Each structure stands twice: as structure tokens, then as C-alpha cells.
Amino acid sequence: MAQEKTFLSVKAIDSLTNEPISFATIRINNTNRGLIADEEGSFRLPLELQIQKDSLIISAIGYNTKSVNLKTFDNTILNIIKVASKVEVLQTVTITKNITKEGGLGFITAEQIISNAIKNIKINYPKDPFSYLAYYRDYQVFENEYFNLNEGLIEVFDAGFKTNSFLNKENKTALYSYRLNKGFPQNLGFSIPYDNKRSKYIEDAYIPSIGGNELSILQMHDPIRNYEMKNLAFIYNWETDFIKNHDFELIGTTFLNDKPIYEIKIKKKASNSTSVNTRFLYVKGNNKFDDYFKVEGVIYISKGNFAIHKIEYAVYDEEAKTSKYAINLEYVPKNNLMYLNYLSFNNAFKVKDKESFETTSFSLTTSQDLVSLRVNNLISVSTLKKKNFKVYHGKTELPIESIGWVEGAEIQIKINLKKDTFKRYKIDNESAITIVTKNVLDTSNRKLDEPLFLDINQFREVFVQEVFPNKQPIPGLEYSMKSQPLSQGPLNKNDAISKYWLNTPLKKTKD
């Protein structure tokens, strides 16, 4: 692989708005190789491509295809490429809210376009084996910064869309490189397993115990590759649920490499008309609960063969500005079939703030009728009032005489019970009592034993650099186990891998 210091940093933006062109396709001219820009439109290129006088072909749905000569780039700065949007010729199509008239082809509704696309999945995507070599990464984002960035180069071998992507043994992945990028901050608390609200959880959702590493989880949430399987809410099953659960609005026609593509907005129907059919990572399924969520998305479908090119799909609660989870994916044509170009899946989760004010332990001194609470933060002494503490033996509230504290090597709250309370109730160990606190604060006004949670996003992404139609698994390669962390998987040597590279993101996300 190319060395870290020998890269060009590049960003693709809209020529009018200066907004990033998310997930633009970048191809090296006169080759089958390339990469995908990230959500911020950013990507990296080995400096050797400039030395070789290569050029790039940049394409994205809704934009003119642009060729760029690499000799104009500077390896000391972030190079900006401005790409012009592709405007539809309005005379060629008449569009109402949900119906389009295409010349002499008659009228077609948004729902009919979706229905045709679903029916044609079986013929527009490869049935035979193929592979793709890709840049993979998973990470968390907190306050616009990446954490725990794992990345590598992988080759995914797929036995074809007629097979189950997870269960079929011929569907497997070879690792050529994999690392925790220590140039980015690490936070072990962000990476702990989900534990149902004690330390880490997904609000209003759940992840069933289906097994699989982060790559397997990502692949399972590709609704096109897994079109016959249950998928995330509210897509569920394409053939039985997707149209039933959504309303569609035909926005218009856009283009990819001068090929016309329908652009259709997706919204969730009212809950009394949606089906609940869960499997992977989703909101809890019942009609009353479904009212709490909304869907925003767009699907891009080719005119003619109705191939699905791209899906942007996100689920929100009614008040949130950020999504509970979102998928972004694109397929591109090669040899008259559609192959994965990129897949990005992220979900929001909550993790306990390590600065939360907590009781770390407590003990009894029975001879003194004393309960000692050990806490982790400095105490706001003014909140140490009797009314803010209750001590129970079973359902009986025990009488409190006074409250004190000690701050030294250990920070302790001293609950002094009335004389002979322990003797009267025959209490001789901690398991016999329960302590309840209210409005006891630390010096930063955090409440005791009311944990605070941080809002984090977990990302899993794969960006294809080259597709190999009709390629089957290679004898002699070692493959990672789908249920095993990628960090524990075997690494393979391959001299040809030097043509590919890790498209490591910039250190910050957008503000």
C-alpha cells in the first residue's frame, strides 16, 4: 500500500452551492479502478498517480461527469474540484406530483416505477459469482470527530443474488489489510457491547442476537442485495412491505453519465397502514409506537430497465433533527448488470458519560448505625440534606439522624441513622438495606445515580475500488469468519494490492 505521507487530499463540491458532493464516484482514467468520496465529498489519492500523469473521471447522480488532470493538484493543500449540476431538459418530460408522461410511452406513477424496480431486481443484478475489492471502515462520531477508526482493504466474494448473503458459505471476505488507525482518538467506552441502558443502548430500538462482525452487520443492511430477506424498519421485505409502508412522490428526472434516472421521494405511511416485520436494527414494532417515527428518503431508478441506482433512507423520531439510523447506498452498471459502488449504514446510540455522578459502593458500620456511600465526584455540600436521602429495610423507612461527608483519598457521604436502628431491625449486612437519593448534586450539578448519556453515531462503510464479474473465491486465500471481529481475521498477501489504498478520512467531520 502507498505510504501515509504520499497522498493528495481532494474534495468534490457543487460548483454553485459549494456544498460537498457526497459519495461521488472517482475513477482513474483508462482503468477499472477508482474509489468513492465520503459523505463530506473528500477522498485521498496516492501521489504516484500524479507522477504517472493520470487523470480522474468524477461522476455523481445529478451532476455532469468531469475529467480532471492530476498534474494540477498540490500535495500540500486540500484540492477542491467543482462539479456542475446536470439540469433536466424540461421539454422532454411532463411531471405532476406522482405521475410522469414520457413522450409516447404514456403515464407512469411513482408507485409503478417502484413496483417495476422491485420486480426487476432479479434481472438487473448479478446471479453469477463476482467479487469486489473495497476500502472498509467502521468508527464512531462524537462532536464532529472520529473515534476508534478501524479500516482495511477487503475483497468480498459473492456467489450471486440468488444466494443468501449471510448464510451461504461461498459468500465470504478476504482481508488484505486491517488496522486500528491510531492517528485518530480512541475511546473504549464507545466500543463496549450494548447492555440495555446500563452503559450503552440504542434508544427506542434493539439489535437482535443475529451474530456477525461490523462488516457482516453492514452487509445485512443492504436492502437491494438482501431483497428477499427481512430488513430494517420500515423497509422490511421489498416485495411484501416496502410499497405498503410508504408513500412516494416523483420529484423529477436527474442524470448519471447522461443517462436519465427517476428521482422519487420516500415517506412512511401512517402507522395503521404499515406492516411490522422486524429483523435487524429497528424501532420497536407496534402501531402506537410507529406513530413516533418518520422516514425521509430518496430512491433513484433508471428509466428503461428500472434498475435501482441509489437509496438514501433515514428514520427519525418526530422531534429529532438527527436520524435514529440511516443507509446510503449506490449500485452502478457494469457489463449490463448493477454492482455495489458504496454502502454506508449508521445508527445513533447512547453511552454513559464517565463523568456521571455515581455511588461506587456503600458499607455499614453497625456499631455506629452508620451508612457510608462512596462516590466518584466532589460533592455539592449544600445538597446533603436529610430530605434528600431515604434508607429502607424492606418496605420500612429507617430514621435518619444526620448527614455528613468526608473528602480525601475517598469521597464519602455519611448517613447517620438514629441510635440502635441496626440492632432493632437486626441488620448486619449491606444486602438488607436500600438507599434512595434525590437532588444530591456534585460540584458540576450532576445528580447522584442519575447517569448522563452521550449521543454517539456508529458508522460502518464500504467503498468499492474495483469490481470483478464472474470471479469466484481464490484457492489458498484465508477468509474471515462472519461472526468473528475483523481484527482477529487472517491477513492475506497479494502483490496486486499495491494498486489500491486506504481512503482514510480527514480528522474532523463537517461542523
The pLDDT tens digits for 464-509 are: 999 999 999 999 999 999 888 999 999 999 888 889 999 998 766 6
CA distance 464 to 311: 16
Query: Looking at residue 5, what is its pLDDT?
Result: 56
pLDDT tens sequence for the chain (511 residues): 444 458 999 999 999 999 999 999 999 988 888 999 999 999 999 988 887 777 899 999 999 999 999 888 998 999 999 999 986 643 444 444 555 655 555 688 999 999 999 999 999 999 999 999 999 999 999 999 999 999 999 999 999 999 999 889 999 999 999 999 999 999 999 998 887 778 888 887 665 555 578 899 899 899 999 998 887 777 888 888 899 989 999 999 999 988 999 999 999 887 655 544 444 444 444 444 466 788 999 999 999 899 999 999 999 887 767 788 899 999 999 999 999 999 999 999 999 999 999 999 999 999 999 999 999 999 999 999 999 999 999 999 999 999 999 988 889 999 999 999 999 999 999 999 999 999 999 999 999 999 999 999 999 999 999 999 999 999 999 999 988 899 999 999 988 888 999 999 876 665 4
Residue 234, preceding peptide bond in cis (omega within 30° of 0) = yes
Range 359-437 classified under CATH 2.60.40? yes
CB 497 within 8 A of CB 177: yes
Query: Looking at residue 281, what is its pLDDT?
Result: 44
CA distance 459 to 221: 12
Question: pLDDT digit string (tens) for 175-233?
Answer: 999 999 999 999 999 998 887 778 888 887 665 555 578 899 899 899 999 998 887 77
Where are the chain's structural domains? 7-83, 127-353+454-499, 359-437
Asked whether this chain's domains 7-83 and 359-437 adopt the same fold, the reply is yes
Cell of 497: 494490492
Core vs surface per residue 464-474: b (16+ CB within 10 A) or e:
bbbbbeebebe
**Class of 7-83 in CATH:** mainly beta
Q: Quick one: which of 43, 98, 102, 40 has its CA closest to 68? A: 43
Tell me the whole-structure pTM to 2 decimals: 0.86
> Phi and psi of 241, rounded to 5°?
-120, -35
Query: Looking at residue 287, what is its pLDDT?
Result: 46
CA distance 22 to 84: 14
Query: Looking at residue 284, what is its pLDDT?
Result: 47
Give start and end residues of each alpha helix (H) in 255-304: 287-290
Q: Quick one: which of 154, 156, 155, 160 has its CA closest to 129? A: 160
